Amino acid sequence: MGQSDLTPPHLELLDSWSRPLNAQRVWFTNEEFRNIETRRQSIELDEATIAYCVYENPFARSGGIFAVSDRYSQTLKARGQKSVVISPYHDKLQSAPNVEQVDLLGSCTVWFAGGPIDVQLYEHMRDGVRWILFRAVGFFNAEGTDPYAHRDAARLVTDSLFASAAIPEVLIKLGLKKNVILHCQDWELAATALTMKRALARGDMESAAIVLTTHNPYDQGLAYNLLRMLTYPQHMAEIRDGTVYQLMIPLTDAPVSTVSKTFASELTTDSLQTTHFAGHLQDVFRSHGLVGVDNGLFGTLGSTFRKRAITDAAKGKFEPILKAKKTLRKKMLKVLSEYEDGRIIGKLTGENGRSLKTLPDEVPVFFMFGRLDPGQKGFDVLCRAIESLPPGQARFVMAPIVGNAPAAFRDDFERLARSRPGDVAIYPFRMQAGYMETMAGATFGVMPSIYEPFGAATEPYLAGTPVVARKTGGLIQQVTDIDESLSEGTGITYREQPCRSDREWRELMSCTDPYSRMYTPVYGSMVASLAVALTRATMVYRSEPEKYARMLTQLNVKCEQFSWDRVSEEYGRLYQIAVGK
């Protein structure tokens, strides 16, 4: 599918949205349904509290969802909107809070799986924003660094259902029974749509509405026996097994949102989504609606380069901004050359195998970062592309957050480092020192995502680094190819030849070994297209310094297009729809 086939949805389309109510009538009696609707429509929007419900928090992070929660909650505070963030307390993680970081607020009782469960509530204040963490014995026990990585994968479903059952009781304990808009994130907390409406039907909550945002296409099966842990109504005879999203999206009060306009379109048009990830959701997306709300920046807006250097570049004087970038490069090379950690795979070298600090200026350094998610981020695509390039023409730094990724994809880094000594270094952990220096000093960031809901191209932009990116999802909106627009280019983009059949996507995503993926034509085309893009980026850097300088001048301009204030306004429109205003 070519990019011209994409027609991103816009919030203006919400003006014609009407609430599909038949699904809700299946779950509730006529009297319960009338109570729910009356209490939803009685919300006074000017007095509403936004209860932002998310599975991650400052002490339990995985990918960018915490960053979204943090930035958005800070924006609500700055705009004077009453809000609170509600999240599970993951007490077995290495990053779990100590007693000085949270205050015990009290406890409440949650009815779950046929019995009462005691829940403790804690408060954590983060830059003036109130985070409420709820804790219960036997739940949220993921260990290590990832709140989603349970030894028993099925445990995450049970924990998510329990979290959804707990949220209404947490709000009641906090005294937030009226004028509440719950903004739930991802499938893990989507079942709050059911538990909150049961609380409204009973009269435990006075007025509330539910909005849902999905940050990716992940979903989970939700069999009838699991639903019985949440509710036991006699009139559920019509409910059948399904997935969390299939069953819970129809219970929400506004169209589902996702984190970029382009990804909202791809969820219903891109063959990877419609045949592999979200094929089962096409009917519910069509009936309930799906819109994109572009995330804001994950960092602070402000030019890395002095205004004078940018002004000079606009006048055709490129040396000052290139000199500033060269200074950042030197800092990166110094930090990386002195970085000592036994977990590092491979080693970067400079001229003739000497210290990295001797690396010639004309040799670019590419940097890739993010989760090692074989189904999304494309670290193995970059590995295969590096293998196809001539040795020595570039250096590559990768910083994958490994988590519980399959061993074959972790071992792939060892093979690459052995095959390209001096060219590749992999930091398979969260880089504490050196991360920002590498982000700022790299010649290009690399984002070869197989799919990308929003993407984080703006993160290297803020540090002063352009990006090589596959044209997918939010990256389409963030990265403009310098050869397509000299005045607006922020990097190099590419896209492989389209799939010849949907079967190719299914074959690719079923591969458990990175090398076996090369037998699928679409993957081979991805690798070849990335290799061409890396070569093109290398040539621009080496032979067209003015063009590279122009990219540096546009990074801050592109970042200005992504604003959390705009995010707040667009979600505000969804909140209006949710309460029937």
HSE, CB side, 13 Å, CA atoms: give it for residue 539.
9
Q: Is residue 431 part of a domain?
A: yes
Asked whether residue 195 is assigned to any structural domain, the reply reads yes
Tokens 């922020």, located at residue: 490
CA 469 centroid distance within chain: 16
Does residue 264 belong to any structural domain of this protein?
Answer: yes
pTM of the model: 0.93
pLDDT tens for residues 45-83?
999 999 999 999 999 998 789 999 999 999 999 999 999
What is the reported pLDDT for 145? 86
**SS3 for 239?**
coil
Q: Are the C-beta atoms of 438 and 431 separated by less than 8 Å?
A: yes
Candidates 425, 430, 306; CA nearest to 359 is 425
Note the pLDDT of residue 444.
98
DSSP class of residue 54?
A: -
Q: 3-state class of 99 per DSSP?
A: coil
CA pair distance 206, 465, nearest whole angstrom: 50
Same domain, 438 and 459: yes
Contact in structure between 258 and 289 (CB atoms under 8 Å): no
What is the tens place of the pLDDT at every residue in 374-409?
A: 999 999 999 999 999 999 999 999 999 888 788 999
Q: How confident is the model at residue 2 (pLDDT cuts 50, 70, 90)?
A: very low
Residues 291 and 349 in one domain: no
Q: Say how far apart CA 349 and CA 358 lie, in whole Å.
A: 8
pLDDT at 500: 78
Mean pLDDT over 31-48 rounds to 94
Question: What is the model's pLDDT at position 363?
Answer: 98
149 in a structural domain: yes
User: Residue 302 domain-assigned?
Assistant: no
Q: How far is CA 261 from CA 118, 121, 293, 494, 508, in A?
A: 41, 36, 6, 20, 26
> Both 570 and 514 in a single domain?
no
User: What token pair was written down for 69?
Assistant: 């929660």
pLDDT, residue 152, reads: 82
Mean pLDDT for 515-539 is: 96
Beta strand spans in 168-317 (E): 180-185, 208-214, 221-222, 242-243, 256-258, 290-292
pLDDT band at 175 (very low <50, low <70, confident <90, very high): very high
- One domain for residues 402 and 282: no
Higher-pLDDT residue of 237, 367 = 367
CATH number of the structural domain spanning residue 542: 3.40.50.2000
Same domain, 393 and 281: no
Kindly indicate the confidence band of residue 581, based on its pLDDT and cuts at 50, 70 and 90: confident
For residue 399, the one-letter residue type is A
Closest by Cα among 175, 203, 225, 211 to 53: 211
Range from 19-33, 297-311, 341-355, 498-512 carrying the lowest mean pLDDT: 19-33
Ranking 33-42, 176-185, 298-307, 540-549 by mean pLDDT, the lowest is: 298-307
In DSSP terms, 365 is beta-bridged to: 395
Tokens 């085309």 belong to residue: 525
Same domain assignment for residues 199 and 274: yes
154/262 Cα distance (integer angstroms): 32
Position 432 scores a pLDDT of: 81
Q: CA-to-CA distance for 81 and 385, rounded, in angstroms?
A: 47
Residues near 130 by beta carbon (within 8 Å), at least 6 away in sequence: 83, 84, 85, 123
Residues 6 or more apart in contact with residue 370 via CB below 8 angstroms: 63, 377, 379, 399, 400, 401, 447, 456
Query: What average pLDDT does the chain have?
Result: 92
144 phi and psi, to 5 degrees?
A: 85, -130
Tell whether 282 and 385 lie within a shared domain.
no
Structure tokens at 336: 């990386």
Cα–Cα dist 555/557, whole Å? 5
pLDDT of 508 higher than 80: yes
Decide if 157 contacts 241 (C-beta within 8 A). Answer: no
The total number of structural domains in the chain stands at 2
Q: Which amino acid is at 97?
A: P
Place of tokens 């403009």: 480
Residue 301, domain member (yes or no): no
Tell whether the model's pLDDT for residue 298 goes beyond 80.
Answer: yes
Residues 249 and 390 in one domain: no
So what's the pLDDT on residue 339?
94
In order of 68, 110, 175, 272, 372, the CA distances from 73 in angstroms are: 8, 26, 20, 32, 27
- 14 is a domain residue: yes
What's the pLDDT score for residue 367? 98
Sheet holding 444-447, edge to edge: 345-346, 424-426, 395-401, 365-371, 444-447, 467-470, 491-494
Assess whether 267 and 395 both reside in one domain: no
Question: Is the model's pLDDT at 17 over the cut of 80?
Answer: no
Question: How many CA atoms, within 13 angstroms, populate the side-chain half-sphere of residue 45?
Answer: 12
- Distances, alpha carbon 198 to alpha carbons 37, 54, 309, 325, in Å: 12, 20, 60, 57
- Mean pLDDT across 4-23: 59
- Residue 515 has phi, psi (to 5 degrees) of -75, -30
Residue 13 has what pLDDT? 56
* 8 Å CB contact between 280 and 244: no
Same domain, 222 and 333: no
**From start to end of 56-156, where are the E strands?**
83-88, 103-112, 115-126, 129-135
Claim to verify: residue 191 and residue 225 sit in the same structural domain: yes
298 Cβ contact partners less than 8 Å away, ≥ 6 residues apart: 64, 67, 68, 71, 456, 458, 459
Question: Residue 3: pLDDT band by 50, 70, 90 thresholds?
Answer: very low
* Size (the chain), residues: 581
**What is the predicted pLDDT for the residue at 560?**
95
**What range defines the domain where residue 151 resides?**
3-296+565-578
Task: Round the CA-based radius of gyration of the chain to a whole number and report it.
Answer: 25
**Pair (461, 395) in one structural domain:** yes
Mean pLDDT for 447-461 is 96
Is 423 part of a structural domain of the chain? yes
Summarize pLDDT for 229-288 with one digit per residue, the tens. 887 655 555 677 799 999 999 999 999 999 999 999 999 999 999 989 999 999 999 999
